[in-house]
Every structure is written in structure tokens, then in C-alpha cells.
A = this chain, B = another copy of it.
């Protein structure tokens, strides 16, 4: 079931970028949660293309419809199916791609795997697939907030070499949403935006890092061994298009410290057992310890660029790929809700698992 994620809060996505619809089935959402499309649409709006001048101009409303699982405004405990119709299909824009493999895209590998591929706009490898994830995660978000007080927030931490200064303990959604690059450090945000605009004019693209914090997660989420919380988080975010790396807590940087510097000393504070520092990133032995969960995700520069590129055809002949179609010079602003989505889905799943032990 390679299109399914999670065990108890379990989602299955479907749909290609062109064709009838994209969507998701959420199996395992607890019953009696108040829910309607208005809980879901805002996160989809943050994800959709065409929001600003620095992201792709594919322009679709991405209006979600709930098909099942909700009765008189409350969840039934049965599967919640949601769809978003595809509208902006322009298959002619992709005729060249039919024959040539786009560099660092999935054209060659899909054909290798399946012996067939949907050459219209990426098919299943399109970021459009994440609509289902974001819609499902909006439900997870509501449930986590209402039952556990958990809040998940991501932002653009770095674009190429321009890095923001952000306090994960205090950053707010409003700050993140205050600019089109989704970086809560506003002066850095401006520099990032200028860079992306310059890159766009060059027909090129840039990557960077999205950071994410989950605040309010109780101790006890995550399992020993394979389903460690950080392992599931890593799988979740590495399953996003264009992601290339993952760090929990101190990450790669922590490897330059000694154990005596890196260890998080336990302290008692407010009647609770806490840690004085948080290099663990809120997870120890694969299980949340009640501190903020902190992670970072590397996103490569977008593969689609508005420059001529050399490549080959399916028969191995040399070819030149002309710049064509739409171009997203920097996926980072739209990756923000996607990273949140995966973190929310992992937390909701483990929060349900933890109920089994109660």
C-alpha cells in the first residue's frame, strides 16, 4: 500500500496532476469531531499554486469536497473521502515531455518502474498529489489542537545561503504568513524574496531549508525501535517532492559537539520533568519527552527551469529540452504547509497509538 501513510490515523492519497481529481481517504479519524470543508480549505489555500508572484502560476481554486464520513457536521468514525477536481489541464504544454526525459524529474524512473507514464505534467509525481496530504492533515491539526493542545508550525528557515533567525518557541502563524516567502524573520524575508525574483528572471531555481516546530506534544508519543517518532517524521518529510535531507534537534550540527556538551540535563520545573536544553529536539529513544519537537528539511532547487537543457529521449538519442510551461523558482513557501502536514499526520497517528496503552 505505497499510497497509504499512518496506521491508526491512516491516509491514502490518489490522483494525478491531470485527469479527474486528486484526493484522499482518511481512515481512523476519531468520531464526533466537528468538521466541515471550512476547516480544510485554509490549509489548501496555503498550499495551492498561484498565490504570489514567486511561486508557480498554475491557477486553480483547489476547492475541496467532503464525500463521506461526516454527518450533520460531525465525523462518524468512518472513512472521510475528500476530492479536489483538476481544472487547469493543458496537455499540449507537455507534448515535448512525452518523448524527452526532464533532468532530475521522475520521467525516466516512472517509465523504468511501471513501463508506462502519464507525461502530462508529472502525473503522480506532481506536487499536486500533496493536496490530499494537506487536506487530511487539516483534520489531524484540528483534532490534535482540540484534544491535546498540540500546535505545528513550519517556516522557511533558509533560501540558498540566506538564513533567518527564528525562535521556535515563540514564532507564530501570523508571522509566517506575513510575507510571501513564509519566513517569520521579516528583514531576512525581504532578502529571500529579492533573491527568488532575481533567480526567476534568470529562468533558474533555488532551494533551501524549511524548519518546523511542534509545541505541546505530551511525553510518550513514538515507539521504540522502527517506529521511533523521528523515524516516522523523517519518512514523512522525505516523501515530499524535492526533499533531500532531514534533521531532528541538533541534527548534523550536533555531531561537532562532545557528549558532555550535547546531553540534555533533566530538571524539575513547574512540577514536571523537563530538560534544561533541547538538543534532542523533543525526542529521546524515539519517544517524545514533552519539549518542543524541532526538525529541519532540505529542499533542492526545483528541477524545472526556464533554460535549455541537454537530455536524452526514451530511445537514448541526444535531445535538447526547451524551456516551456510553468516554473516555480522556489518551492519553499509552498513546502511549508506540506511539511506541517506530514508532521501533523505523524503526531496524530502516534497520539492515537498512545491511547492503546492507556
Contacts and interface: CB of A to CB of B under 8 A. Distances in A.
A183 interface: no
A260 to B, nearest CB: 5
Given A27-B3, A209-B252, A268 B357 contact: no
A245 interface: yes
Contacts of A316: 268, 271-273
Contacts of A173: none
Given A110-B224, A247-B244, A248-B238, A311 B15 contact: no
A219 interface: yes
A151 to B, nearest CB: 20
A255 B246 contact: no
B356 A355 contact: yes
The number of times this chain is found in the oligomer is 4
A79 B303 contact: no
A239 B246 CA distance: 13
A60 interface: no
Contacts of A261: 301
A49 interface: no
Given A15-B68, A273-B312, A108 B228 contact: no
Given A12-B25, A25-B25, A231-B238, A259 B302 contact: yes
Given A205-B260, A206-B259, A263-B303, 8 more contacts: A14-B67, A113-B222, A204-B259, A244-B255, A245-B252, A258-B301, A265-B310, A265-B311
A326 B158 CA distance: 41
Contacts of A353: 2, 356
A21 interface: yes
A269 to B, nearest CB: 9
A227 interface: yes
Contacts of A286: 106, 109, 125, 239
A186 B33 CA distance: 52
A357 B1 contact: no
Contact of A225 (B129, B219, B310): B129
Interface stretch (A40-48, A116-124, A137-145): A116-124
